[in-house]
Amino acid sequence: MASHVNPTVRRRRLGQELRRLRELKGMTAEEVAERLLVSQSKISRLENGRRSISQRDVRDLCGVYEVDDQRVVDGLMQMAKDSRQQGWWHTFGDIPYSVYIGLETDAASLRIYDPQVVPGLLQTRFYAEALITGALPETPQADIDKRVQVRMRRQERIQSTENPLRLWTVMDEAALRRKVGSPGLMREQLEHLVEQSQLPHVTVQVIPFDMGAHPGLNGQYAILEFPDAADSSVVYIEGVTSDLYLEKSGDVQKYSVMYEHLRAQALNPEQSREFISGIAKDYAR
Nearest of 102, 111, 101, 144 to residue 125 by alpha carbon: 144
Q: Boundaries of CATH 3.30.870 in the chain?
A: 89-284
Distance CA 269, CA 118 (A): 16
Q: What is the pLDDT confidence band of residue 281, given thresholds at 50, 70 and 90?
A: very high
Are residues 248 and 130 in contact, defined by beta-carbon separation less than 8 angstroms? no
**pLDDT surpassing 50 at residue 1:** no
Q: What is the DSSP letter of 170?
A: E
Q: What is the pLDDT of residues 46-60, one digit of tens each?
A: 887 767 788 888 888
Q: Boundaries of CATH 1.10.260.40 in the chain?
A: 7-85
Exposed (0-12), middle (13-18) or buried (19+): which is 205, by Cβ within 10 Å? buried
The stretches of the chain forming alpha helices (DSSP H) are 7-25, 29-36, 40-48, 55-64, 70-83, 98-106, 125-135, 141-154, 156-159, 173-177, 183-197, 249-265, 269-284
Give kind and range of the element (H or E) at residue 111. strand 109-114
Q: What is the pLDDT of residues 62-117, one digit of tens each?
A: 888 888 888 888 888 887 877 676 667 767 777 777 778 888 988 899 999 999 99
Task: Write down the pTM of the prediction.
Answer: 0.77
Distance CA 273, CA 205 (A): 8
Q: What is the pLDDT of residues 240-271, one digit of tens each?
A: 777 888 888 899 999 999 999 999 999 999 99
Provide the mean pLDDT of the chain. 88
> Which CATH architecture describes the domain 7-85?
Orthogonal Bundle (1.10)
Pick among 3.50.30, 3.30.870, 3.30.310, 3.20.20: CATH of 89-284: 3.30.870
The widest CA-to-CA distance across the chain, in whole angstroms, is: 73
